[in-house]
Copies of this chain bind each other. A is one copy, B any other.
Amino acid sequence: MDFTLDSEQTALRDAVRGLLSKSYDSTETRREITKTDPGFSEKTWTQLAELGALGLPFAEEDGGFGAGPVEVSIVAEEIGRVLAPEPYLETILAGGLVADLGSAEQRADVIGRVAEGALVLSLAHHDIGDAVVATASGDTWTLSGVKEPVLHGARADLLVVTARTDAGVGVFLVDPSADGVERTGYRTHDGGRAARVAFDGAAATPLGDPTADASDAVALAKARGQIALGHEAVGAMDVALRTTTEYLKTRKQFGVPLNTFQALTFRAADLYVSAELARSTVTWATLVLQDEPERAVEAASRAKMQVSRAGRHIGQEAIQLHGGIGMTAEYSVGHYTSRLTAIDHTLGDGSEHLARLASTVTDHGVVDPIG
């Protein structure tokens, strides 16, 4: 068991941190960028690609860089630290499905362009109302139904869509500019973007074999996304906590710095406990994903549940310990709370994951993290 980054990984972290701390050097900069569509900086996106960050999880033969979950987690955490709004999660989710399910041609076509930053992907997986249905007519497939919210769905160059097939769940590539696809984009509360995407007999290309059930692949892709989101949250919590402790040290009330008030510093100590516990669990889940992917779905639930608790605790208390200033959009900390709330409700919130864990809690004695 080893929790330390090697030197290449440390270099990656420093490079990404260097880039993102320049791109998002202040709350104001981020507010400006998220104000107008597509809600992120195309320039930063390109720079991330140039740095190699976008191709990390994909095999070299597909056009990726052949790194693994740890490298992805490093990028995700740095994204979380500055709340970078770029569609990195969608790349992991949708790109991962292409890599797992796609034919050699599909992989060659998509992955390389994703790694170059030339293709923004989005995974449309959340049905609103009836499930999206895929229908075959000979070799031709079409989709009908509505997905919402689809994160970054309006900007995406290519949609990866889950749909109901006779075999269960199928995954399809859809050109969003094709006939029968209607996208309506909007802002999300954390400064991000989402869309309603309606399919009305839209042409779709199956990813891999459409007569097989892709449920497991989708579950694994989501687990990857959950774990990456967990790291993003860990980065965000770390900064929210440091910002709060810094404020307690410098802000004066009643003639003394706030950290004179033990009721406040003890609460900060409890925040630290929450943050550390979440960090441990998320890091472990990344290692499970790397070394025992067959346990990754469960590990991701464990990580997401812990992140949910910690994110609420830290998000709420960071504002409260700041007082009024924490409520304002000009100050950073409220944006962290907003983002942590969004992360909690993306790919299953804390109680959903806890319910999953609860449903299998009597299947084992102790939980052994080492396996």
Does A331 make an interface contact (CB < 8 A)?
A: no
Chain B binder among A97-105, A261-269, A281-289: A261-269
Mark out the residues of chain A between 223 and 262 whose CB falls within 8 Å of any chain B CB in the assembled complex.
261-262
In angstroms, Cα B266 to Cα A262, docked, is 10
Smallest beta-carbon distance A245→chain B, Å: 16
**Chain B: CB-nearest residue to A269:** B263
How far, in Å, is A280 (CB) from chain B's closest CB?
26
Give the CA-CA distance A263 to B266 in the complex, in Å. 7
Alpha-carbon gap, A265 to B266, bound state (A): 13
Chain B residues within an 8 Å CB radius of A265: 263
- For A266, what are the chain B residues with a Cβ–Cβ distance below 8 Å? 263
Q: Which residue of B lies closest to A260 (CB)?
A: B262
| A262 surroundings in chain B (CB, below 8 A) | 261-263
A50 to chain B, nearest CB (A): 50
A265 to B, closest residue via Cβ: B263
- In the complex, A194→B174 CA distance in Å? 71
Question: Distance in Å from the Cβ of A248 to the closest Cβ of chain B?
Answer: 13
Contacts of A261 in B (CB 8 A): 262
- For the complex, give the distance between the alpha carbons of A263 and B262 in Å: 5
List which A9-24 residues lie within 8 A (CB) of chain B: none
Shortest Cβ distance from A106 into chain B, in angstroms? 48
- Nearest CB of B to A263, in Å: 4
For the complex, give the distance between the alpha carbons of A266 and B261 in Å. 11
- Complex: how many Å from CA A127 to CA B249? 59
Least CB separation from A261: chain B residue: B262
**How far is it, in angstroms, between the C-alpha of A278 and the C-alpha of B86 when the chains are bound?**
49
**In the bound complex, how far is the Cα of B265 from the Cα of A266, in angstroms?**
13
Q: Chain A, 331-343, contact with B by CB distance < 8 Å: what is the 0/1 string? A: 0000000000000
Question: A266 to nearest B CB, angstroms?
Answer: 4
Q: Whole-angstrom distance between the alpha carbons of A266 and B264 in the complex?
A: 10
Contacts of A263 in B (CB 8 A): 262-263, 265-266
List residues 94-121 of chain A with CB under 8 A from any CB of chain B: none
How far is it, in angstroms, between the C-alpha of A261 and the C-alpha of B266 when the chains are bound?
Answer: 11
A253 CB to closest chain B CB, in angstroms?
13
Q: How far is the CA of A265 from the CA of B262 in the complex (A)?
A: 10
Minimum Cβ distance to chain B for residue A211 (Å): 42
Most chain B beta-carbon contacts within 10 A, residue among A261, A265, A266: A266
Residues from 116 to 161 in A contacting B, C-beta threshold 8 Å: none
| Closest chain B CB from A158 CB (angstroms) | 44
- Give residues 273-318 of A contacting B (CB, 8 Å): none
Question: Closest residue to A266 on the B side, CB-wise?
Answer: B263
- The complex places the Cα of A266 from the Cα of B267 at a distance, in Å, of 11
Q: How far is the CB of A145 from chain B (nearest CB, A)?
A: 30
A263 to B269, CA, bound (A): 12
Closest to A267 in B: B263
A261, A263, A265: most-surrounded residue (chain B CB, <10 A): A263
Q: Which 6 A-B pairs have the closest CB atoms?
A: A262-B263, A263-B266, A262-B262, A263-B263, A261-B262, A263-B265
Q: Could you show 6 A-B contacts with beta carbons less than 8 Å apart?
A: A261-B262, A262-B262, A262-B263, A263-B263, A263-B265, A263-B266
